[in-house]
């Protein structure tokens, strides 16, 4: 059995996610503050304007600490609760921070294995593997348009393994292809 012990998700992925979250939250706070500042001049009374700015000034430190804590804790929990294994008949993924989910994909339904790298991955020297299968669903469902690129786990008909070194990703793809060749006519459903 091949597990993430042989091809681990790099700690750099957690660092990348933390930095990305902090940057997104900083932009959100700046735009929110500018929006409130612009909006207060139009529709709110002087008393309402003073209340809003008083709240922001007195609670800004707590809001920033809350945002920073969530930006740091979520990627760590996401990584700590994600694991994968190449078993004899299945590719198994375990994930979930609040609700644990386990998904077994038979090798005979895997259709495509993609190694990709976006700009963030390029900066941090990482790659992502996406394993697409023939099922119409599985794992947990997400709203349409929800982007899971760069997030580990399973969704719909694909599994994403993020934060790998290029050599590890290539070796993992080869191991999955070897398992696919060894299990061409498996009738197991993965349930």
pLDDT tens track for 21-73: 889 888 887 887 777 666 655 566 666 666 767 777 777 778 788 888 888 99
pLDDT reading at 150 higher than 60? no
> Which pLDDT belongs to residue 133?
85
> Which pLDDT belongs to residue 26?
85
> Which pLDDT belongs to residue 64?
80
CA distance 68 to 79: 17
> Which pLDDT belongs to residue 148?
47
Nearest to 165 by CA among 114, 93, 117, 113: 117
38-47, 65-74, 102-111, 165-174: range with lowest mean pLDDT: 38-47
Q: Binning pLDDT at 50, 70 and 90, where does residue 13 land?
A: very high
The answer, as to whether pTM is greater than 0.75, is no
> Which pLDDT belongs to residue 189?
47
- In angstroms and rounded to an integer, the radius of gyration of the C-alpha atoms of the chain is 22
Average pLDDT score, the chain: 81
> Which pLDDT belongs to residue 155?
60
Q: 145-150 long-range CB contacts below 8 Å, 24 or more apart?
A: 149/118, 150/17, 150/118, 150/120, 150/121
22-31, 79-88, 112-121, 179-188: range with lowest mean pLDDT: 179-188
Q: Bin 92: left if φ > 0, else alpha if -120 < ψ < 50, else beta.
A: beta
Residue 82, classed as helix, strand or coil, is coil
Domains of the chain: 1-191 (2.30.29.30)
Q: Residue 71 in contact with residue 14, Cβ under 8 Å? A: no
> How many CB atoms are closer than 10 A to CB 78?
19
Q: Binning pLDDT at 50, 70 and 90, where does residue 152 land?
A: low
Mean pLDDT along residues 163-173: 95
């Amino acid at each position: 059995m091949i597990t993430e012990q042989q091809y681990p998700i790099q700690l750099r992925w957690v660092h990348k996610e933390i930095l990305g979250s902090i940057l997104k939250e900083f932009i959100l706070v700046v735009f929110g503050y500018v929006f409130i500042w612009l909006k207060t001049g139009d529709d709110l009374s002087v008393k309402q304007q003073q209340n809003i700015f008083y709240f922001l000034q007195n609670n800004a430190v707590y809001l920033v600490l809350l945002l920073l804590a969530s930006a740091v804790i979520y990627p760590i929990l996401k990584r700590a609760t994600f694991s994968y294994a190449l078993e004899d008949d299945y590719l198994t993924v375990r994930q979930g921070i609040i609700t644990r989910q386990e998904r077994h994909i038979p090798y005979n339904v895997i259709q495509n294995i993609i190694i990709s790298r976006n700009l963030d991955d390029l900066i941090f020297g990482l790659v992502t593997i996406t394993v697409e299968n023939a099922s119409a669903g599985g794992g947990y469902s997400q709203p349409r348009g929800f982007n899971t690129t760069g997030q580990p786990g399973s969704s719909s008909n694909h599994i994403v393994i993020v934060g790998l070194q290029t050599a590890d990703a290539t070796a993992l793809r080869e191991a999955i292809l070897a398992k696919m060749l060894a299990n061409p006519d498996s009738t197991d459903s993965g349930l």
